[in-house]
Structure 1
């Protein structure tokens, strides 16, 4: 069989001498048949005793005409253009066949030099062959290598070789046309779902190229290609927000189907999601990205620990934790509750084998920050507390059966204790969520559009749809416009209950500081946008919106986090005014007595 490969290679080399560029258009079938002969020889060959570099060298004249130069676009307009698409496709398919047949690293070393030499011509050939992907409304081709699926697979296979070797990768990074092609492949893969399946079927378990991983070639040069990629992603806001999320969904399904963690692909998705947050698509991402990243964390940590892949998986988990630290509450309580309901706390605990194996201080800090910094401020809301409380019950048995890293476990117990302490303020059945008219059963379904309305059954959801349709559409439109939803009445009432309880704890300290200062105005505030909450009696720290609404010399206020840097302020104006001039001790004592006697009106929202 090896002789047939050598013979086919010799025939190809001879044909290149015989068929001049002028005669090729009239002899296209003959050249394509010669390339097909070489492909068949490779497929039948079982022993590698030929020179792969010679085979690669023989293909160079067929990728693209030597006189062709890069352009912004490579249109397919004439019969000659169609012929060149076919010839480029046949040559690249042959190269992809060589790559698949001999994918060991030792083989790749043999052809590195040739691949480096022919990059300019080969890249042009990739652009020619990619024209098949953009043909519209044509019937299925009779020849397999002229189908979009085959074209996509061959191009990704070839580019994967260049992306996998540092010396070749530099060539791709410095070729804007190649980067633009890779981006288009990434989008094309989502528009045609069968392509991922085709890639998985064509390659062995150890070698699965994907267009998503190829996009990582832009990461190491953000000053040049990074902005170009972001600009391309942001050109279609709806599409750009959809593509990386859909790729991540597919990676999640792949984990559960094949039991393998595509750490490089996940890392690529996270990079592009983060890049998109600098564009106008930011608010669109916040609708679903936090939930999907959490689902990805759950999928990754659900797999058995493998020391051979621990380094890549640890980097992937760290990236997810970093993303969630930054955006978990970016969409308000909706995105935060989505994340908790999807298993955020469970995923953090299950990440401990990778955390321990790599001794990753950075990963530990990212994961611990969610428990100590980013989630606790929102536990003042009953909807968040409800989700956290349910997760804690699920985790108890897991903690007992596993040896969790000690310092991380300490932070978990602090978080758990805070959840239990705040839960004591719940009244009646506040931990039972339902919006059904029946108000009997616990909610088990949720509206997939607004993610707020909950139902005890599908029947109740159907009955409630007519009433829910309009408010649901308004909420969706507001989120698409980047407007955070208002806090629900149950969340607001519970947060005010927490504030009243906390103020009661600090009441004596506040009164002592008022007497000690002896100056007006007398204010006391609790800021819940940080954890632990900050109690302040400094008049200089009064939020502007509180100061504007104060009608007297004494007030108590509270600041609640709303997500994405937003906040809501509530105030109790004590109604005590002092005549112009220096404050006297009597006024201060009266205010102190009012506060100590709990004669404090309800907090009112400051609009």
Structure 2
């Protein structure tokens, strides 16, 4: 069979000489390439040079003199012929690469691949036109089917990704990088394209467009290529491409126990890049929950010292991502993350943190517990989700030796949650929005993620009432508008604010007397942790200053997510005070504040 390969290769070389003088047709050449593929697949004893086959294919990838910009959509019969010829040549190369990528043939093949990159890249771009054809077309040959095209191109690019010298060629070719981005999206948008990969390659070596993008994604920005622009204009579809890739990685963890750490890091990079685009608020609905599930899945696997470094980088990337976006989608996004196991995942990351002595990972995980999550514990919905994780974490801490420095951060969060919980009634920790209030919520609306029900029957009954407000919330998020806080969250946050001011009002009154001037203001800012109590007039938010009708007021600022805030205030009724009040006027106001409970806060629109 090796002689058949040699014979087919020589026939191809001879035919190329005739083809250059237009004495041979593309169809004839495609038949010869098909014969070469059959001979290579059937070959069992290799007594020929596979690199010679690679060299023989070089003239057929693209016409002489074509440039990267010439890879336009098919418009003429000549374009169709070139697509078919490029496809046959790339398919043949993929066959050679797949069968002879191991020593002793690898190095000679790599040398030939380095020499032919310019024309090969053009051939890949020409052949990729099959993937962009509109409508259903019956392929003339199997090599013109989208699934076959996808497999052949990814297989060839895979060997370039594995060799640093070859990878440098790809990284310096913007057209190749843009093609890889499109393949990455197509792998999700059209799942059947990757079916042949599973059939052709063993589990240990399965090239995917996701892996290709992993090793080239940093070079997109270097060439001025933006991820969204490379993917196209379908922003709704673009948003879910990296999410679906992340879901696939999660499936591998749960199905095979394998942690695709490097691939997950690539998905996180792409999610972060897409968050800076107009599709940001589409992603906020789901991305934080999926990343949290990935964190929990990774940290739930047994610790493996051989892959600890890569896994640590992956966990750090997830923590950094969650630090940046966990509150970006408002309470819905935050509650999704908590319900998916964020707090448990942070504690379970400890073995990797300890093994690598990762200061960066420690700081990212600690920031979630001490900076990003605590401000939102003033909302009953967040407090409810946090409490459900606390008993699981306490049990985990008892069974595992956790670093004391990290435990200290957790105890700060736990103590704050416990203290805030004292202001809630027992019924407020039982979540349900249906009539059966005696039952615990077990189902949640998958669209708005807010409405909860005790049974499917109650959810069906409530749908007619819930449908319209749910659609409005969904439309608001897609437009980039965070919904208003729910009434139960608002009422509980105001209860916390009144309690905290009562606790601080003596100190506030002393500062008022010490200052001796108007306005007499006191505010509690919950957008930071610990909350900041201020009596400085220059710290008054613009919303409060615009609404003040007298010289004395108390206000509070609540975080809303994504940098937003809501302000509430109560006027103390100092409407006739002089511009420069005497000491007696201030003392009267102080005595009233000390003697009476703070009036109800009113929202500032």
TM-score normalised over the length of structure 1: 0.94
Residues 234 and 280, structure 1, Cα contact 8 Å, conserved in 2: no
Instruction: Please state how far the C-alpha of 1:28 moved relative to its aligned partner.
Output: 2.0
| Cα distance, 1:484 vs structure 2 | 0.6
Deviations along 1:374-396, whole A, 9 cap, x unmatched? Answer: 00000000000000111112223
Deviations 1:280-302, CA, capped at 9 Å, x for gaps = 22222212211122122223223
Measure the CA separation in 1 of the matches of 2:104 and 2:501: 70
The answer as to whether partners of 1:218 and 1:226 remain within 8 angstroms in 2 is no
TM alignment of 1:123-202, pairs within 5 A: 123-141=121-139, 143-202=141-200
Aligned to 2:12: 12
Question: Equivalent of 2:62, from 51, 64, 78?
Answer: 64
* Counterpart position of 1:461: 459
Return the alpha-carbon distance in structure 1 between the equivalents of residues 514 and 473 of structure 2: 48
**1:163, 1:326 → 2: CA distance?**
31
Counterpart in 2 of 1:23? 23
Q: Structure 1 residues 193, 568: closer, same or farther in 2, change over 3 A?
A: same
2: CA distance, partners of 1:264 / 1:21 = 49
Alignment deviations for residues 413-464 of structure 1 (CA, whole Å, 9 cap, x no partner): 2212221121111113100000012222111111111111111111111111
1:468-547 aligned within 5 A: 468-547=466-545
Aligned-partner Cα distance in 1 for 2:137–2:53: 33
Report the equivalent of 1:83: 81
- Structure 2 equivalent of residue 296 of structure 1: 294
Aligned residues: 605
Residues 250 and 433 (structure 1 numbering): CA distance in 2 closer, same or farther, change over 3 Å? same
Equivalent pair of 1:552/1:573 in contact (CA under 8 Å): yes
* Alpha-carbon distance change, 365 to 317 in structure 1, aligned in 2, over 3 angstroms: same
Q: Map residues 250-399 of structure 1 onto 2, 5 A cutoff.
A: 250-399=248-397
Q: Which range is displaced more, 225-234 or 420-429?
A: 225-234
Distance 1:528 1:565 in 2: 12
Q: CA deviation at 1:73?
A: 4.0
Please show how residues 535-574 of structure 1 align to structure 2 within 5 Å.
535-574=533-572
Q: Distance in 2 between matches of 1:231 and 1:143?
A: 32
For the residue of structure 1 that corresponds to 2:529, the secondary structure is coil
Against the structure 1 CA distance between its residues 35 and 391, is the aligned structure 2 distance closer, same or farther, given a 3 Å change threshold?
Answer: same
Distance 1:310 1:196 in 2: 30
The residue number in structure 2 matching 1:115 is: 113
- Which residue is 1:428 aligned to? 426
Distance 2:232 2:409 in 1: 39
Mapped to 2, the partners of 1:259 and 1:144 lie a distance apart of 35
Q: Is the contact between residue 172 and residue 217 of structure 1 (CA under 8 Å) also seen in structure 2?
A: no
SS at match of 2:558: strand
Contact 1:72 1:177 in 2 (8 A): no
1:518-545: CA deviation from partner (whole Å, max 9, x where unpaired): 2221111110000011111111111111
- Partners of 2:365 and 2:46 in 1: CA distance: 49
Quick one: which of 438, 441, 450 aligns to 1:440?
A: 438
Over 3 Å counting, the alpha-carbon distance change for 1:397 and 1:52 in structure 2 is farther
Structure 2's unaligned 5+ residue stretches are: none
SS in 1 for 2:553: strand
Structure 1 segments unaligned to the other structure (5+ residues): none
Q: Distance in 1 between matches of 2:41 and 2:402?
A: 50
Indicate if the aligned counterparts of 1:234 and 1:281 stay in contact, CA closer than 8 A: no
Identify the range of structure 1 (331-340 vs 276-285) with the bigger mean alpha-carbon deviation.
276-285
Match of 2:100 among 99, 102, 117: 102
Moved more, 377-386 or 425-434: 425-434
Distance 2:269 2:375 in 1: 27
Contact 2:551/2:574 (8 A) holds in 1: yes
Question: Which stretch has the larger CA shift, 75-84 or 520-529?
Answer: 75-84
Q: 1:588–1:217: structure 2 CA closer, same or farther, 3 Å change rule?
A: same
Change (3 A) 1:246 1:112: same
Pick which of 140-149 and 553-562 moved more: 140-149
Secondary structure of the residue aligned to 1:220 is helix
State the TM-score, normalizing by the size of structure 2.
0.94
**SS in structure 1 at match of 2:521:** strand
Deviates more, 1:206-215 or 1:287-296: 206-215
Moved more, 317-326 or 88-97: 88-97
CA distance in 2 between partners of 1:323 and 1:413 (Å): 23
8 A Cα contact 2:522 2:554, kept in partner? yes
Instruction: Return closer, same or farther for 1:403/1:144 CA change in 2, 3 Å cut-off.
Output: farther
CA distance in 2, matches of 1:285, 1:294: 14
Deviation by residue 1:171-218 (Cα, 9 ceiling, x = unmatched): 223323222222221222122112334323322333222212322455
In 2: Cα distance, 1:49 partner to 1:315 partner: 45
Answer whether contact 1:594 1:600 (CA < 8 A) is retained: no
Change (3 A) 1:98 1:321: same
Match of 2:204 in 1: 206
Deviations 1:304-331 (A, max 9, x none): 3322322222222211111111111111
Alpha-carbon distance change, 579 to 465 in structure 1, aligned in 2, over 3 angstroms? closer
Q: Specify whether residues 106 and 537 from structure 1 end up closer, same or farther in structure 2 by C-alpha distance, changes over 3 A only.
A: farther
User: CA separation of 1:412/1:198 partners in 2, compared to 1, >3 Å: closer, same or farther?
Assistant: farther
Alignment RMSD (CA, Å):
2.2
State the distance in 2 between where 1:21 and 1:160 align.
34
Q: Which moved more, 1:322-331 or 1:160-169?
A: 160-169
- In structure 2, the CA distance between the partners of 1:581 and 1:403, relative to structure 1 (3 Å rule), is closer
Contact 2:142 2:148 (C-alpha < 8 Å) held by counterparts:
yes
Q: Distance in 1 between matches of 2:249 and 2:515?
A: 60
